[in-house]
Chains A and B, each alone.
Chain A
């Protein structure tokens, strides 16, 4: 498994350009965020201009990985070796966070103009920058300490962004989130301490060589896993998710749902593939919880009256699809082919969901902003007056429902094939039921919005581009489904 995460020695030394690109990737988002605090952008175009070097650095790294498959950097800092790696998977996740971060940043000036932003509002920029930098570090890090630092930085930035709106409910939800995030970090740290105490190293690649199954590995995996599952809002530790999104600003929700929880999940899978290779129970417990998550998240989203809760609960169910794939990735007695299919399906689902969920939060934010109502009933008649926002919602929901042609569909296809091959019929049933449940809650939104008998409301006009940014994200999720071959080939090291 660990070779899939690029935790092996590389054959080539990185070139000078990649050093520069790496520095730009890690540092520039934070620096640009600070710059934006000093000179807050009022329009989208300065943001677009400033983001060019960051996006360019991502593309340079992509080109480098396409050539050599694996890049490794190593430095000695005060006697400690720090190393970073970049393989197909991490460059994909890096690009995902850069582009979604870019979309959220483009969206922000318009959103700030239309909503009453308090005096603290402009702190959103540096926090956003810190978040993107921390995420980039998480995709690249190869030791437990760096991962911990990046995770903390990301978590604190996320909490800070939630608190900015200054509303009492937001403060409450934010503080609760902070508390849970700290508990999660503590559990993670305990696990790390146990690993360090027993095996004496923090380097992932080194660990993979020395870890042997036994109580220490299991307890460490449980601690790390529990902490990260809390941060990733895996069922049944998802209770904090809906209140957080209910009160957050749209760009914050976008970043949080699309990227922050995915980072915790990424670390979880990476560490477990080192600590628990070929174990039976742990991944199966996750999978069983995943099935419950699909059903429970679907039901929550189906019964709710609030649009934001609907979108947030759908995240719980969508994470369930990923959890159900755990036994295929980590479990024993899984043949090569189904494991490879599940691996592809897992990441495609994760990336597709990130783009679609980002688009959907933007669309939901636009609908709420324009109608001034946050309930489903408030959407009545919006299909005539807000067709574009609703169209974006629809295009994004195709991926969430896993209907073709979309990344969600292709991912589901791959996962289903893997499950059929390894005879996991319960998981197959869960995926199919999930499809129907998600269709049920998605079409509830449309049912309200197509209502023509509704009274006319006053609609707040949106800033130009707010819908188009979301539409672009939703289309990326669709196109990823049809052209899945390219990212997957990159992830599997060139040849498929």
Chain B
């Protein structure tokens, strides 16, 4: 039984709320908030429904013909709903957070409108069943994030927007070229099709490699792989909820997710290994991991450090894919979710420090643990996860990646993992140390850059609770990894059900 309405209405929820928000007047703050939250909850419910349907073995498809030989297809498959679940859960959290964060600021209508459009695009990316549909939402994501990046309208923000577009639109054009070449070679190729492109191997080996390079090259821009990562640290000028959404879910994950789709669902992992492209990609991912960590170490401000940490962390997903084995695959898929939860927590914390105490630089964070205990606790959990310490979710990922590397006899990957974890510790632990163990303004030494008392608790409730929730989720994903429907469990299901030979 095919419930075509399900993927369609899930997508339509965010699209519809975009239209409603843009149509409402700027002053209708309460109504906008209600509608936005209601839509986020409805969408989450719909995605949960979809996950249950997938767990029961149904794959709902919605499709129509665009032109001859090209269709628009949405399909709720296991990998798709995994990403859709992450994005809709974090949409709800980030929306709550953004309502608190943007209180009394201007242009909120534009912000929330494009925010919803951004999430709609992410959902479309998750559910797209062929490269054409994927491309539609991939470009929609580029366009809908631009107004968010330049939201503050300062010269710095406008420049960041310009650079963001230069990178992503060029990447989009490269991706378009690869897609057109592929369609010309093979015709439409559904992601759900069992056979890869192995039939074309004998006659078109060079062309297949070229197309792979174009597709992955275009996607790597959004996934912020070195040397195509230049837009990401600059985009940090955007408001904290945007950074949280861009970095944890939408843009970078869209790139990484696209690479997953290309390798697993389009080419097939055997063909990718046969072509030798996975080795090249593994090396590129390793370079990105190390380079991102080194650059993070050199940052003196909090948000850029988190940004470079993202550059590094997203490539774990790609590295895991390239290991070509059950554990690498599971590690990669689980990390897609884990990194999302942990990074969103860290950005929420950074936003809270900036809002409540005016902290932007790392050396201003001394003793903040006493003033903002919950925020600092959440930050500590996130940081531990990023380093890969148990019991936070990040540990699971690194463990699986490590086993995967050993099984694949790629010992140098283990070395990369160890080096990267050490670097992670080197740039996160000093912050944690500052938070808890260094005397600061709350011990009567100096003063906060610009302190406000936003709420009865350590900060505004709208800012606090989403952060607490995501921190708990990061912890829970690690502690309860063995339970059904945990990120690890779902990643295992995807890996076993679809990819393992």
Contacts and interface: CB of A to CB of B under 8 A. Distances in A.
Interface in B151-188: 152-155, 158, 161-162, 165, 169-170, 172-173, 176-177, 180-181, 183-184
A443 B162 contact: yes
B136 interface: yes
Contacts of B140: 404-405
A450 B158 contact: yes
B107 interface: yes
Nearest to A451: B153
Interface in A439-488: 439, 443, 446-447, 450-453, 481-485, 488
30 contacts: A384-B107, A403-B139, A403-B143, A409-B136, A413-B70, A413-B176, A413-B180, A417-B183, A420-B181, A435-B176, A436-B169, A436-B170, A439-B169, A446-B150, A447-B162, A450-B147, A450-B158, A451-B153, A451-B158, A452-B153, A452-B154, A453-B153, A481-B66, A482-B66, A483-B66, A485-B66, A485-B67, A485-B68, A488-B68, A496-B68
Contacts of B173: 432, 435-436
Interface string A381-400: 00110010001000000100
Q: Closest 4 A-B residue pairs measured CB to CB?
A: A452-B153, A404-B136, A420-B184, A416-B180
Given A383-B110, A405-B140, A432 B177 contact: yes
A494 to B, nearest CB: 13
Contact of A453 (B109, B110, B154): B154
B499 to A, nearest CB: 28
Contacts of A391: 22
Interface in A360-389: 383-384, 387
A344 interface: yes
Interface residues of A, number: 36
A410 B109 CA distance: 31
Given A443-B146, A483-B66, 7 more contacts: A383-B110, A383-B153, A404-B140, A413-B67, A421-B184, A484-B67, A488-B67
A481 B135 CA distance: 13
B168 to A, nearest CB: 10
Contacts of B143: 398, 403
B67 A344 contact: yes
Interface in B400-455: none
B107 A383 contact: yes
Contacts of B176: 413, 416, 432, 435
Contacts of B106: 384, 452
A414 B162 contact: no
Contacts of B146: 443, 446
B132 to A, nearest CB: 8
Contacts of A439: 165, 169
A285 to B, nearest CB: 26
Contacts of B183: 417
B199 interface: no
A260 interface: no
A391 B72 CA distance: 25
Given A432-B176, A436-B173, A488-B68, A447 B109 contact: no
- Among B142, B165, B180, B184, which residue has the most Cβ atoms of chain A within 10 A? B180
Contacts of A428: 177
Interface of B is mostly: helix
B65 A485 contact: yes
A447 to B, nearest CB: 5
Interface of A: 344, 383-384, 387, 391, 398, 403-405, 409-410, 413-414, 416-417, 420-421, 428, 432, 435-436, 439, 443, 446-447, 450-453, 481-485, 488, 496
Contacts of A496: 68
Q: For B153, B165, B181, which residue has the most chain A Cβ atoms within 10 angstroms?
A: B153
Size category of the binding interface on chain B: 35 or more
Interface of B: 22, 64-68, 70, 72, 106-107, 109-110, 132, 135-136, 139-140, 142-143, 146-147, 150, 152-155, 158, 161-162, 165, 169-170, 172-173, 176-177, 180-181, 183-184
A410 B67 contact: yes
Contacts of A446: 146, 150
Contacts of B161: 443, 447, 450
Contacts of B172: 403
Contacts of A483: 66
Contacts of B72: 482
A485 B71 CA distance: 10
Please classify the interface of chain A as helix (H, G, I), strand (E, B), loop, or mixed, using the class held by over half of its residues.
Answer: helix
Contacts of B65: 485
Max chain B Cβ within 10 angstroms of own Cβ: one of A414, A420, A450, A482: A450
Nearest to A388: B22
Nearest to B23: A388
A381 B68 CA distance: 44
B157 to A, nearest CB: 8
A443 B146 CA distance: 10
Nearest to A387: B110
Given A435-B173, A436-B170, A443-B165, A417 B180 contact: yes
B158 A447 contact: yes
Nearest to B153: A452
A77 B110 CA distance: 61
Nearest to A481: B66
Contact of A450 (B64, B136, B153): B153
A488 B107 CA distance: 41
Nearest to B181: A420
A413 B173 CA distance: 11
Contacts of B136: 404-405, 409
A41 B98 CA distance: 48
A428 B178 CA distance: 12
A344 B172 CA distance: 23
A334 to B, nearest CB: 15
Contacts of A436: 169-170, 173
A465 to B, nearest CB: 15
A404 B138 CA distance: 9
A450 B143 CA distance: 14
A269 B147 CA distance: 41
B152 A404 contact: no
Given A391-B22, A417-B183, A447-B158, A452 B152 contact: yes
B161 to A, nearest CB: 7
Nearest to A487: B67
Nearest to A442: B165
A447 B165 CA distance: 11
A428 B64 CA distance: 27
B200 to A, nearest CB: 15
A410 B107 contact: no
A363 to B, nearest CB: 15
Contacts of A450: 147, 150, 153, 158, 161
A384 B161 CA distance: 17
A481 B183 CA distance: 18
A450 B158 CA distance: 8
A481 B136 CA distance: 11
B109 A387 contact: yes
A304 B105 CA distance: 34
Nearest to A403: B139
A352 to B, nearest CB: 13
Nearest to B68: A496
Contacts of A432: 173, 176-177
Max chain B C-beta neighbours (<10 A), residue from A421, A439, A481: A439
Contacts of A482: 66, 72
Contacts of A416: 176-177, 180
A353 to B, nearest CB: 17
Contacts of A384: 106-107
A185 B107 CA distance: 52
A446 to B, nearest CB: 7
